Amino acid sequence: MAQSRTDARLGGIVILDYGSQYTQLIARRIRELGVYAELWPFDIAAEQALTLQPKGIILSGGPNSVYDENAPYLPQWVLDQNIPVLGICYGMQLLTHTLGGKVSPAHAREYGPATVTITHQENMLLKDFPQTFEVWMSHGDHIETPPPYFVSLGYSTNSPYAIIGNTDRNLFGVQFHPEVVHTPLGRKLLSNFVFHICQCQPDWTPAHFIEQAIVDIQSQVGDAKVVMALSGGVDSMVAATLIHKAIGEQLTCIFVDNGLLRLNEAHEVVETVQNVVGAKLIAVKADELFLDRLAGVTDPEQKRKIIGETFIHIFEEEAAKIEGVRFLGQGTIYPDVIESAAKERPHAQTIKTHHNVGGLPEEMTLELVEPLRYLFKDEVRLVGEALGLPERSVWRQPFPGPGLAIRCLGEVTFERLERLRLADKIFRDALAQAGLMREIAQAYAALLPVKSVGVMGDQRTYAETIVLRAVTTEDFMTADWAKLPYELLTQVSNRIVNEVEGVNRVVYDISTKPPATIEWE
C-alpha cells in the first residue's frame, strides 16, 4: 500500500508473534488507544518491519520454552534499533535469555489469576499503578536471574521477577498477559508503554484512516474500473463505500440476491448502496435458481459447494458485461489475513491474499483492492460510522456466506426459509428492543428438521423445532452462551409458536465454543 507523510500507520508499534493465542488482542488493545499496531512473524525481515518506522516493539507470548530445540528466537535487529521493547510472557523470557539472564522451570506453574506487588512504582511503565494489582498468568517457566542491568519492578508468589526493566535502554518484560480482560490494569500498562515510554501519538483514528485509504485507492487504481461483490455484511459495505468515495463511477457493485438472506435484508442492501453509498449497482435476483439447485440437498458441505459455485457463475457472468475492469474490490479484514497466513506457517502472520467473498476463482486475473485489510472488525464498524452508513449496516452481526441455508438444517425449501426468517426476526427484534444486540456478538434462530408432538388449542400438532442461539465473545475463537433474561426468552418463545406456522417447540442453545461451534452447520 502506498504511504504518504500523513500515514497514521507510521510511528506505531510492531508486534512480533511467538504463537500466543492472545497475540491479536495485543494489537487490538493498542489500536484502542489510537495508536497503530501491526503483527508480524518473529522472523520477519528487518527492512519489512521497519517500513512502519515503529517507535516500539512488543514480543508476544507463546507456547515454547526458550530452551526448546528450534525455539523461536529474538532477531538481533530488534535490539539494534535502540527503541523501547516490551516482552510479554515468552517474550519476556526470550529477552532475558538473549541478554544473558537465566530462565528456568517454575517450582509451581502459574495458570490463572495472581497478584503482583510493585517494587519500583516510580518507573514510567507502572505510572499511577497501585502497590498491588491482579493479573492473568499463563506460564511454566520463570525468570531465575534477570539480565545484567535489569531490575525487578514487581513480583508474585511464584514469580520473583514478574516485571523487569532496564530503564536506560527502555527494555521491559512482564510475566503476565496485560492484553486480556482478566488483567484489569493491563490496558493501563500498555498505555504507559505506548505513550510514556515509546512517545507514540494517538493519531490512528477513523478520520485519518479514511483520508489515507482514499489516497491509497486512487494511487493503486488510477483511472481503471473496479468490480465488487456485495454480501450486505459490514466489511463489504464499508469497503465499497471507501472505494466509491475514492474513485466514484469507476466502481460497479454486484449484489446477488440468493434468497438466503434474513427478512428484508436484500431490500436494505440495495437501498443502502443506491441511496447512501451512491455507487453503481447491478442487483441480480436469483433466489429461484439457488433454491432449484438446493432442492433435496441436506448435507451442509454440499449446500456450501452449490451456493458457492452458483454465486461464482452469476458474478463472473455479470462482471464480464463490464468493459475495462482491472480490479476486484474485497472486504478482507485483518483477522482474515492473519488466519489465512497462519495455515501456511505455524507461527507466522505473513500477509497474503484472502478470498473472503465466497471463494472467487483463483484464475480471475483481476488485481485486488482491499482497503480494510489492516483493520479489525470493531475498527471497520467505527470507519463505517464515520462514513455515515446506517446503523443496520454498521452493526449487522456476522452472517455466514451460505446464508440461512446452513441455519435451515435439512432440506432448504421456500416454506422452511420463510419459517426461519420470521422466527429469526422475532428473536432479533426482541433483543434489540431490550437493548442487548450490541452486548451479544451473534444471535440467530436455526430451524431443525425435527418434528415433535404439541398441543395448540384443542388440536394435536406435529411440527418443527426452532433453536435460539446467542453468544458473547471477544474474538470468536471461543464463545460463551448469552445469559438472556428468562422473561425475554419466554416472550420470544410464545411469539414464535403463535406467529410462525409449522413450529410448535422452541429451545435455547447453552453450548459454549468449544466444544460446539457458533453456527449449527
Cα atoms in the 13 Å half-sphere on the side-chain side of 296: 2
Among 97, 139, 142, 177, the one annotated catalytic: 177
- The strand pair at 225-230 and 325-329 is best described as parallel
State the greatest distance between any 2 C-alpha atoms of the chain, in Å, as a whole number.
84
Cell numbers standing for residue 361: 476463482
Does the annotation count 177 as an active-site position? yes
What is the rounded distance in angstroms from the CA atom of residue 332 to the CA atom of residue 369?
9
Residue in 38, 110, 179, 370 annotated catalytic: 179
**Separation of alpha carbons 481 and 311, rounded Å:** 32
Is residue 179 among the annotated active site residues? yes
Q: How many CB atoms lie within 10 A of CB 285?
A: 12
Cell numbers representing residue 369 in the block? 483492492
Distance CA 70, CA 205 (A): 40
Residue pair 225/322 in contact (Cβ under 8 Å)? The answer is yes
Neighbours of 423 (CB within 10 A): 28
CB 125 within 8 A of CB 197: yes
Could you give the CA distance from residue 138 to residue 91 in angstroms, rounded to a whole number? 13
First and final CA of the chain: distance in angstroms? 37
Q: What is the DSSP letter of 63?
A: S
**Three-state DSSP class for residue 367:** strand
Please state the three-class secondary structure of 254-310 as a single string.
EEEECCCCCCCHHHHHHHHHHHHHCCEEEEEECHHHHHHHHCCCCCHHHHHHHHHHH
Q: Which residue has the cell 460510522?
A: 385
Based on the residue annotation, tell me whether 89 is a catalytic residue of this protein: yes
Q: Identify each DSSP E strand in 272-314 by its residue range.
A: 280-285
Tell me which of 38, 89, 142, 244 is the catalytic residue: 89
Residues involved in catalysis: 89, 177, 179
